[in-house]
Amino acid sequence: MRQGIPPPARLVCWAVLALLPLALACTKSPVPEQREPAGAGGTAMFSESEAYDRFMGRWSQRLAPPFLKFAGLKDGDRVLDVGSGTGSLALAVLQEAPASRVVGVDPSPAYVAHARTRAGGGRVTFEEGDAQRLRCPNGSFDTSLALLVVTFIPDRAAAVREMARVTRPGGVVAAAVWDYGDGMEMLRVFWDEAVALDPASGPRDERHMPVCRPGELAALWRALGLLDIREEGLVVPLAFSSFEDFWSPFLGGQGPAGAYVASLSEGPRRDLEQRLRRRLLGEGGDRPIALNARAWAVRGVVPGR
């Protein structure tokens, strides 16, 4: 376990932050948040960077540009990326707003290490940290973002409150989560077939994830005192070149669905694969598969202090 920074050293770090914004915008948190939704176990489901990129990272890359447009990103903004994962959103910020500076914070050492290999130049940094206890001074950022992570933070209110604290008055706090109930078709198809085959897996179905239904993110933002709140559905296409392109990423053990597949013995895993093949291809041969994914996005403005 990482040891906390002693108080005198922490004061020095924060003084440096005040003088050099975003050079070291957040000191590292000693207690990383646990991405552990109800019915799913352990942080191993978010530990393999390459497997995650094959499973979900490629779709978060597609979601990032419309999410940044929705959030109202401006070139030159100081941006905090909470739950930065393998770095897709932070890098998209620099593509959309090249004069901006970004700090990504994530609890997974493997994800942070992978993201650092993708970071070019000095305009983006990645650190291990806890969204519920950000070690950043008040008002450090113009915009704080969280893409596809809020559902996995145990104390979501604390995390959003922290995002608002480190964002300047008048700045934006924005997040997006997949619509696990109906709109994220890749996962909806998967869980429909998994539960039909194994009813005991029902509690693990991601439709039960928190704040993934319309209005729930906005209600959280409103409860925490953010202003000018907007919520919108963002839809991106999911294009699979073949059934194997759809199925094989589930075998990497990432996310709740991947963790469920990893828990199956060979027979049930093969049965689930066959059910999904019939669901997506019918009785025909292999072919490209086109699905869609909807995310619910919310943004709010930090009030004056």
Q: Cβ of 203: how many Cβ atoms within 10 Å?
A: 10
pLDDT in tens, 89-142: 999 999 999 999 999 999 989 889 989 988 877 899 999 999 999 989 999 999
Q: Cβ of 32: how many Cβ atoms within 10 Å?
A: 21
- The answer on pLDDT for 48 being more than 70 is no
pLDDT in tens, 166-203: 999 999 999 999 999 999 999 999 999 999 999 999 99
Average pLDDT of the residues in 282-299: 95
Rounded to the nearest 5°, which phi and psi values hold at 227? Answer: -115, 165
Q: Write the class of the CATH domain 32-180+208-238+294-301.
A: alpha beta
Report the Cα 33 to chain-centroid distance in Å. Answer: 13
What token pair was written down for 246?
Answer: 């759809």
pLDDT in tens, 205-237: 999 999 999 999 999 999 999 999 999 999 999
pTM of the model: 0.83
Domain boundaries, given as residue ranges, for the chain: 32-180+208-238+294-301
What token pair was written down for 297?
Answer: 């996005």
Amino acid at 159: A
In the 3-class helix/strand/coil scheme, how is 62-130 assigned residue by residue? HHHHHHHHHHCCCCCCEEEEECCCCCHHHHHHHHHCCCCEEEEEECCHHHHHHHHHHCCCCCEEEEECC
Q: Determine the Cα–Cα distance for residues 166 and 173; give it in Å rounded to an integer.
A: 10
Please state, rounded to an integer, the average pLDDT across all residues of the chain.
85
pLDDT for position 50: 72
Q: Predicted confidence band at 60 (pLDDT cuts at 50, 70, 90)?
A: confident
